[in-house]
Amino acid sequence: TVDAVDATSVTVSWEPPEKDGGANVSGYVVEQRDAHHPGWLPVSESVTRPTFKFTRLSEGTEYVFRVAATNRFGIGGFLQSEVVECKSLKTVPSAPNRPDVLDVTHEGMTITWQSPEEDGGSQVSGYIIERKEVRSERWMSIVKNPVTMTRYRSSGLCEGNEYEFRVIALNSRGSSKPSMASKPAIAM
């Protein structure tokens, strides 16, 4: 059975054979091949436990793995896995929730939000905050570097203008979709 798949590794495990052929199982031979090419590649001939992690695989490639028990008389029949595609189980985070706008003055507003529900299997490393004037179509990032807290004070506003904010979460795989826009707030 295939237990774990990542971008460059696959862990498989199997049941020891029911019949040992009259001598104790001394180990296992494990092999791999590209699912779309013939020719098995021996990976190890001295696996002692009924589990093995295949490493240094190529992300996006499909593989087949097989294992056979050995004893002092030789090697048994091979047990073969299904086709397994190497891909990272990590994804980008889900979008943060709609941000709230607090402490509104004529020159600044504080935006707060909650972490996304799904981090994509990789810790959220920061947030990008975008702002636009309600009458404009264009969102602009207002931070040079991602912020790590879930609140931010936006300054440099024009008194009397109406603003909306949205937040994007980042992890090691990339950026989330933007949150819903905040309710519009007037700098006053």
Tens digits of residue pLDDT in 118-174 = 999 889 999 999 999 999 999 999 999 999 999 999 999 999 999 999 999 999 989
Q: May I ask the CATH architecture of the domain 100-187? A: Sandwich (2.60)
Domain 2-86: which CATH class? mainly beta
What band does 6 get if pLDDT is binned at 50, 70 and 90?
Answer: confident
Tell me 147's DSSP state.
Answer: B
Closest CA to 43 of 14, 17, 12: 12
Is the predicted pLDDT of residue 107 greater than 90, yes or no? no
What band does 88 get if pLDDT is binned at 50, 70 and 90?
Answer: confident
For CA atoms 16, 20, 26, 28, give the dihedral sign: negative
Closest CA to 114 of 60, 176, 159, 184: 176
What band does 11 get if pLDDT is binned at 50, 70 and 90?
Answer: very high
φ, ψ for residue 177, nearest 5 deg? -70, 155
What band does 103 get if pLDDT is binned at 50, 70 and 90?
Answer: very high
Residue type, 38: P
Average pLDDT, rounded, for the chain: 94
CATH 2.60.40.10 in the chain, residues?
Answer: 2-86, 100-187
Q: Give the percent of the chain with pLDDT over 70.
A: 100
Q: What is the mean pLDDT of the segment spanning 42-63?
A: 94
What band does 1 get if pLDDT is binned at 50, 70 and 90?
Answer: confident
pLDDT at position 22 is 81
Is the predicted pLDDT of residue 19 greater than 90, yes or no? no
Decide: pTM greater than 0.85: no
